Chains A and B, each alone.
Chain A
Amino acid sequence: MNQHPGKLGIREYVSIAILMVGAKATEDTPTMLYNKVQNAAWMIPLLSAGIFFIPLYLLIKTLSLYQGKDLFSVINKILGKYLGFIICLVIFIISSFGISASTRTYIDIIRAFYFTATPNVIIYAILIIISAYGAKKGLQHIGSVSYLIVFYVLVSLYIVFYLSMQHGKIQSIFPIWGPGTLEILKQGPQQLTLFAEFFIFAMIIPYFTSNKVFSKGTWIAYVYVSIQISAATFLFICMFDTSLGGIGYPFHTVIRFISLGEFIPNVEIIFFIIWIISAFIRFTAFLYINALMFGHIFKIKDFEYLIPSLATIYLLIGIIPESPLDAGLDFKTPITNLAGPTFAVISILLWMVALIKGEFKHAKNKNSM
């Protein structure tokens, strides 16, 4: 019954997290995974989740020392003013390029599958304008919208899973270890970027009703999302087998492939609707968090006013690559290789410094007193 105006409850947070991270199953991530470890691609999300669990756990533990403080304040507090500033800036830059790269991926998908004759810029501009408008409304509204639609998104995703199962062959997952266990173990840490968003969510801790909401919500979403991405990849492998490596965006190929009975052969638009809605939410939240970071780094209190200009910059960066191929290889790959591991290292670094500085003991003493 306790209501905090303008605060985010656990439902809203989990919805945002599921929409933001879970959406990765519906873009080019499964293909990317397949190209790395072939038929064992579905294991990677689970493995990465297992590996990323450690830094994330340490991060949450460190953050719990500072109730209601966001990631950047904690970084500044633990690592000092100058080092803290540099690390915050690195995080901001990585996630800025991240947003540009992933919006670009979405634009390429929309263009390739649904609006082949429309110029990139127009599709891009609409996406960015709507995201900027939503982001300006604030985090609580983003949470509310995600909560309103998350149910439909998940249901439609399950329908796709179910329908695609009818076309898949379970035998396709063999050889079960793909290129071999060693290669899988090698790829696991490299794909940490799958869950990089959870690190970024630590920015919005002050907007939660309590720190507990953050830790609890994070774990719920984390477990769910890793299973979802893994399941999606698994189904795509069953369906396409070796040709998955050549299919850019397997989710969209699947929804073109499946049909609802004989009379309605093409249902892709129905799923496209749901998918594009979740994409809007995803980038709205992403944009908001980035603006929050920017405002924090440069001490701008009314960071909401920055959102339109930041959004424009992301759009301009996003349209630099000439073709989808450029965007995928030259633009997105470096970021995906970099983001996850960097964030993991930062989390561990934070924990270690806090440990060495004796912050944990400090907190314990405080509690016992």
Chain B
Amino acid sequence: MQKKISKLWKQGLNTEPEFNEQSNARVIDLKKQDISASYDQNLATFKSLFTVPDNSDVKVREFTITSLNRKGFIIYLSTMVGLQIIIESIVEPLIDDEHPSEKIPDIVSYPIASTNTNIGEITEFITAGNTALFVDGDKQCYLFETTQISGRSIEKSENEVIVKGAKEAFNERGIDNIALIRKKIKNENLLVETRTIAKRSRNNVFLVYQKDLVNEELLKTIKDKLDSFVVDSILDLSILEQYLEERPRSLFPTILYTERPDRAAAFIEEGHIILLMENSPACLILPATFWTMFHSPEDHYLRTPYGNFIRILRFLALFVAVFTSPIYIAITNFHVGMIPPDLLMAIAGTRERVPFPSIVEVLMMEIAFELIREAGLRVPSPIGPTIGIVGALILGQAAVQANIISPIVIIVIALSGLSSFIIADGSLNFAIRITRFLFIFSAGFIGIYGMMALLIAGLFYLLSLKSFGTPYFAPMTPHSFSSKDLIIRHVPMKERFRPGYLKPKDIVKQRKG
């Protein structure tokens, strides 16, 4: 009953006009058919499909196949293929070879070939950079994988910098990205599945996982989710991330986005599923928990005490980043008694000539810091450092001298701002920075009490988050079997289990020997 009413209500509110698509039935119908044996008809069909000659990079080359003494043509997108290969191993043999032969595969020397008969599918192959060969009187079309797209080479990881460990990062080419993972996991059980998620621009997603580890149920959930999209195009992995998330409006991320192949490989080995996409220099790791975001690969590359040291440092940074400015506000406004008298006098002395309440001060400086940070990101790299120095030093100094803010606020903001950089994961970093503002307001409202109220509400909220069925704080709570790699980690020899919340097919990764 309740659902019915809300449905009616929603229908009443929905004011989106109905848009009618221009009918495209003829082309759709054509794509469902098979190609004919007639040379001329095929030529006409594909010329009309690809709008030749208006479409300037679609090339059609007609010739006579010498050895068969039949007419033939090839069609390809000149911007997506290796021209040299086509000339050397497809066109030349077809024209020059004079040995009498019956079959095309015997004539053409190009290694990767397949055949197809459906017009729609052939079209898809051509748009992906394949070369299609049609022969007069032949009821099938020969497809050669001649794709050669130019792009970046494999470069150093720039956004997730580590000191010790592999440096290479994903780039925009799907093949390179898969190769980067393959060379780390040399196992035939490593599967790379392809799925088309967008109907119109035919964007592909590669699902990478270990067949003999991954939980089937999880795999099915993710596949179902990928198949459920009805969109024309999803151009980038980061957009796919938003499509995939259970709560796209939530402050906290539930999918890990990383550009490091070593990280991806490590997660595959644990039984996670990796999503890659052509044109995206990163991968998505699902499911992800708070800990996967919080950890850095370097924690494991460094020796155990050092790794734990930076982890504890990061944990501290998390708290400093969120709580320093709110605590400053709470203490100066509500709990003055807490500060030692000498320090209190010092603070009061510096604040004497500042005309604003401390929350305004802190907010001004926080916003200024965020502005400087954003500006530092966007300016062309040669001027970047200058902006940082100008912003941070001059602005702060001048603001203090102008009695707009007190010097202690500069310390507070600088500390919390710098600490927020320690959280390496981009999404979590944003979450922390936005949460800080919420805490500032709650501290301004009712001091420590308000902060703690917000903290508890936030904890409840975080715990209710789920990433593909995995609770956000698993395996800490709700407790599940794991090698206890949470706030601190053990020596690698002791980390003998894969995380239990994934329910992998094999939970033990090191048997006791």
Please tell me if A264 contacts chain B, counting CB pairs below 8 Å: yes
A141–B337 CB distance below 8 A: no
**Could you mark each residue 333-365 of chain B with 1 if its beta carbon is under 8 Å from any beta carbon of chain A, else 0?**
011011111000000000000000000000000
List the one stretch of A129-137, A191-199, A339-347 in contact with chain B.
Answer: A129-137
Give chain B residues whose Cβ lies under 8 Å from the Cβ of A122: 446
- Give Cα A268 to B449, complex, Å: 13
Give chain B residues whose Cβ lies under 8 Å from the Cβ of A276: 448-449, 452
| Given the contacts A115-B334, A134-B457, A263-B340, A280 and B452 also touching, CB distance less than 8 Å | yes
A-B pairs with CB below 8 Å: how many? 103
Q: B334: nearest residue on chain A (CB-CB)?
A: A115
Q: Which of A137, A263, A267 interacts with B460 by CB under 8 Å? A: A137
Please tell me if B30 contacts chain A, counting CB pairs below 8 Å: no
Please tell me if A265 contacts chain B, counting CB pairs below 8 Å: yes
A145–B455 CB distance below 8 A: no
Q: Which of B338, B449, B463 interacts with A115 by CB under 8 Å? A: B449
**A267 nearest CB across to chain B (Å):** 8
Give chain B residues whose Cβ lies under 8 Å from the Cβ of A130: 453, 456-457
| Interfacial residues of chain A within 8-28, with CB under 8 A of chain B in the complex | 9, 11-12
A145–B340 CB distance below 8 A: no
A145–B500 CB distance below 8 A: no
Please tell me if A335 contacts chain B, counting CB pairs below 8 Å: no
A141–B449 CB distance below 8 A: no
Give chain B residues whose Cβ lies under 8 Å from the Cβ of A118: 446
A145–B338 CB distance below 8 A: no
The A interface is mostly helix, strand or loop, or mixed, namely helix
Please tell me if B328 contacts chain A, counting CB pairs below 8 Å: no
From B337, B473, B477, B500, residue with most partner A Cβ within 10 Å? B477
**B448 nearest CB across to chain A (Å):** 6
- Give Cα A272 to B453, complex, Å: 12
Please tell me if A316 contacts chain B, counting CB pairs below 8 Å: no
Give chain B residues whose Cβ lies under 8 Å from the Cβ of A98: none
B335–A145 CB distance below 8 A: no
**Could you mark each residue 252-279 of chain A with 1 if its beta carbon is under 8 Å from any beta carbon of chain B, else 0?**
0000000000011111110011001100
| Interfacial residues of chain B within 436-493, with CB under 8 A of chain A in the complex | 446-450, 452-453, 455-457, 459-461, 463-464, 471, 473, 476-481
Give chain B residues whose Cβ lies under 8 Å from the Cβ of A280: 452-453, 456
Please tell me if B43 contacts chain A, counting CB pairs below 8 Å: no
**B198 nearest CB across to chain A (Å):** 33
Q: Which of B452, B478, B480, B500 interacts with A273 by CB under 8 Å? A: B452
Give chain A residues whose Cβ lies under 8 Å from the Cβ of B244: none
- Give Cα A309 to B464, complex, Å: 22
Please tell me if B507 contacts chain A, counting CB pairs below 8 Å: yes
A141–B340 CB distance below 8 A: no
Give chain A residues whose Cβ lies under 8 Å from the Cβ of B455: 277
Q: How many residues of B contact A (CB 8 A)?
A: 35
Q: Which of A123, A133, A138, A272 interacts with B457 by CB under 8 Å? A: A133
Give chain B residues whose Cβ lies under 8 Å from the Cβ of A182: none
- Give Cα A137 to B472, complex, Å: 14
Give chain B residues whose Cβ lies under 8 Å from the Cβ of A127: 453
Q: How many residues of A contact B (CB 8 A)?
A: 42
Give chain A residues whose Cβ lies under 8 Å from the Cβ of B459: 145, 148-149
- Give Cα A112 to B360, complex, Å: 28
Please tell me if A3 contacts chain B, counting CB pairs below 8 Å: yes
Give chain A residues whose Cβ lies under 8 Å from the Cβ of B337: 266, 268
- Give Cα A269 to B335, complex, Å: 8
Please tell me if B331 contacts chain A, counting CB pairs below 8 Å: yes
Please tell me if A114 contacts chain B, counting CB pairs below 8 Å: yes
- Give Cα A154 to B477, complex, Å: 18
**Could you mark each residue 102-136 of chain A with 1 if its beta carbon is under 8 Å from any beta carbon of chain B, else 0?**
00000000100011001000110011011001100
Give chain A residues whose Cβ lies under 8 Å from the Cβ of B463: 137, 141, 144-145
Please tell me if A140 contacts chain B, counting CB pairs below 8 Å: yes
Give chain B residues whose Cβ lies under 8 Å from the Cβ of A266: 337-340
Q: B497: nearest residue on chain A (CB-CB)?
A: A1
B453–A126 CB distance below 8 A: yes
- Give Cα A353 to B218, complex, Å: 49
A269–B452 CB distance below 8 A: no
Give chain B residues whose Cβ lies under 8 Å from the Cβ of A129: 453
B457–A9 CB distance below 8 A: no
B447–A144 CB distance below 8 A: no
**A1 nearest CB across to chain B (Å):** 5
Q: Which of B338, B448, B500 interacts with A1 by CB under 8 Å? A: B500
Q: Which of B335, B449, B461, B481 interacts with A110 by CB under 8 Å? A: B449
**Could you mark each residue 331-360 of chain A with 1 if its beta carbon is under 8 Å from any beta carbon of chain B, else 0?**
000000000000000000000000000000
B340–A264 CB distance below 8 A: yes
- Give Cα A138 to B478, complex, Å: 13
From B331, B340, B341, residue with most partner A Cβ within 10 Å? B340
| Given the contacts A137-B464, A148-B473, A265-B340, A12 and B478 also touching, CB distance less than 8 Å | yes
- Give Cα A281 to B335, complex, Å: 23
**A249 nearest CB across to chain B (Å):** 16
Q: B452: nearest residue on chain A (CB-CB)?
A: A276
A148–B476 CB distance below 8 A: yes
**Could you mark each residue 402-442 of chain B with 1 if its beta carbon is under 8 Å from any beta carbon of chain A, else 0?**
00000000000000000000000000000000000000000
Q: A272: nearest residue on chain B (CB-CB)?
A: B448
The 9 residue pairs across chains A and B that have the minimum distance between CB atoms:
A144-B477, A280-B456, A134-B460, A147-B477, A141-B463, A144-B463, A130-B453, A269-B338, A266-B338
> Would you list 7 pairs from A and B whose C-beta atoms are within 8 A, ordered by A residue?
A9-B479, A144-B471, A145-B456, A264-B340, A266-B339, A268-B337, A280-B456
A residues contacting B by CB (< 8 A) are: 1, 3, 9, 11-12, 110, 114-115, 118, 122-123, 126-127, 129-130, 133-134, 137-138, 140-145, 147-149, 263-269, 272-273, 276-277, 280-281, 284
Q: Knowing that A12-B478, A137-B463, A273-B448 are A-B contacts, what are 7 other residue pairs whose CB atoms are under 8 Å apart, sorted by A's residue number?
A: A3-B478, A3-B500, A12-B477, A144-B478, A145-B459, A147-B476, A266-B337
